[in-house]
């Protein structure tokens, strides 16, 4: 499947790779279908492309870039919604915001996207604001260093 | 929307296992006690508003890209997400 995007021109992906967020993103319920893309030569960040709105997408990353101890429980309703079964592959992503003023990169750890990669179903959930924030800075501020994910994993 | 009037210490039962109690009233502030199973998520509306704001900010940057963001967006996309999925 191909879509025309103003950001990346043409984006090609396999239809079977589409991840469905039944309720869309929080506050953006029209964005329900996404594909997760990689950037060339970039392992720390990924691109979460909207299939419904080709001009929309998010930079995402593993939450561990921002917090090495990141943990939360998935509630019953979400487990049902994502059809999570034993042995399913569950992936958690943080939406990344990059403030252009001082190039500060932050991750939204308060509202992670949880994906059941086995069933291609996802949801954005809200965690406890006493535990996490929508703008958590990188653990290591050097962007060069995060291009190698394994290095970051060792800095904890 | 269902509207119910409750007095101090009166309760509302949602489904069979969620109980909301009016614990304290002080002017325009109402303290609610919520009993619910551990795996039911309960949030203040503000939390969702904060996430909505953050989502919109992250979206906006794609149309107003520069600096570090530009350096990421300059990279070509390839299908997969293989690193994490």
pLDDT of residue B41: 81
pLDDT of residue A64: 93
pLDDT at B60 over 80: no
pTM for this entry: 0.80
- Alpha-carbon span B46 to B33, nearest angstrom: 18
- Alpha-carbon span B74 to B68, nearest angstrom: 10
Task: Measure the CA angle with vertex B42, ends A133 and B21; round to 5°.
Answer: 135
pLDDT at B10 over 80: yes
- B80 vs A149: CB contact, 8 Å cut-off? no
Chain B contact for A144, CB < 8 A?
no
Residue of chain A minimizing CA distance to B70 = A100
Mean pLDDT of B23-40: 93
pLDDT of residue B68: 56
Mean pLDDT of B1-10: 96
- B41 vs A77: CB contact, 8 Å cut-off? yes
Chain B contacts of A75, Cβ < 8 Å?
A: 39-41
- Mean per-residue pLDDT of chain B: 84
Residue of chain A minimizing CA distance to B52 = A27
- Alpha-carbon span B56 to B66, nearest angstrom: 17
Tens digits of residue pLDDT in B65-79: 545 566 666 777 776
Tokens representing B45 are 């509306």
Chain B contacts of A134, Cβ < 8 Å?
A: 50-51, 53-54
pLDDT of residue A117: 95
A1 with A17: CB under 8 angstroms?
Answer: no
- Alpha-carbon span A55 to A82, nearest angstrom: 26
- Picking from B39, B43, B72, the nearest residue to A76 by CB comes out as B39
3 state SS of B11: strand
Instruction: For chain A of 156 residues, list the mean pLDDT of each consecutive stretch of 10.
Output: 83 93 94 92 86 91 94 90 94 88 82 97 94 90 50 35
Tens digits of residue pLDDT in B13-26: 999 999 999 999 99
- Picking from A41, A46, A115, the nearest residue to B83 by CB comes out as A46
DSSP state string for A86-151: TT--EEEEEEEEEETTTTEEEEEEEEEEEEETTTTEEEE----TTT--S-EEPSS--HHHHTSHHH
pLDDT of residue A151: 39
Chain B contacts of A80, Cβ < 8 Å?
A: none
- Alpha-carbon span A22 to A14, nearest angstrom: 20
pLDDT of residue A132: 96
Compare A36 and B80 and report the one with higher pLDDT: A36
Residue of chain A minimizing CA distance to B45 = A126
- Picking from A13, A45, A134, the nearest residue to B72 by CB comes out as A45
pLDDT at B33 over 70: yes
- Alpha-carbon span A110 to B47, nearest angstrom: 8
Chain B contact for A123, CB < 8 A?
no
């Amino acid at each position: 499947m191909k879509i025309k995007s103003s950001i990346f021109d043409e984006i090609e992906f396999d239809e079977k790779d589409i991840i469905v967020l039944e309720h869309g993103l929080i506050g953006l319920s029209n964005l329900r279908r996404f594909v997760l893309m990689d950037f060339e030569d970039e392992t720390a960040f990924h691109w979460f492309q909207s299939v419904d709105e080709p001009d929309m997408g998010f930079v995402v990353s593993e939450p561990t870039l921002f917090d090495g101890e990141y943990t939360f429980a998935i509630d019953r309703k979400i487990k049902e919604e994502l059809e999570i079964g034993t042995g399913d592959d569950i992936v958690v992503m943080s939406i990344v915001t990059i403030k252009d003023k001082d190039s500060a990169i932050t991750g939204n750890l308060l509202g992670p996207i949880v994906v059941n990669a086995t069933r291609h179903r996802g949801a954005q959930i809200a965690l406890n604001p006493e535990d996490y924030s929508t703008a958590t800075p990188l653990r290591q501020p050097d962007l060069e260093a995060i291009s190698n994910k394994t290095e970051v994993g060792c800095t904890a | 929307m269902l509207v119910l009037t409750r007095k101090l210490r009166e309760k509302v039962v949602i489904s069979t296992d969620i109980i909301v109690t009016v614990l304290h009233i002080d002017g325009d502030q109402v303290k609610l006690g919520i009993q619910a199973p551990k795996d039911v998520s309960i949030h203040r509306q503000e939390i969702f508003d904060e996430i909505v704001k953050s989502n919109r900010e992250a979206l906006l940057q794609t149309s107003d890209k520069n600096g570090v963001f530009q350096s990421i967006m300059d990279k070509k996309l390839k299908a997969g997400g293989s690193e994490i999925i």
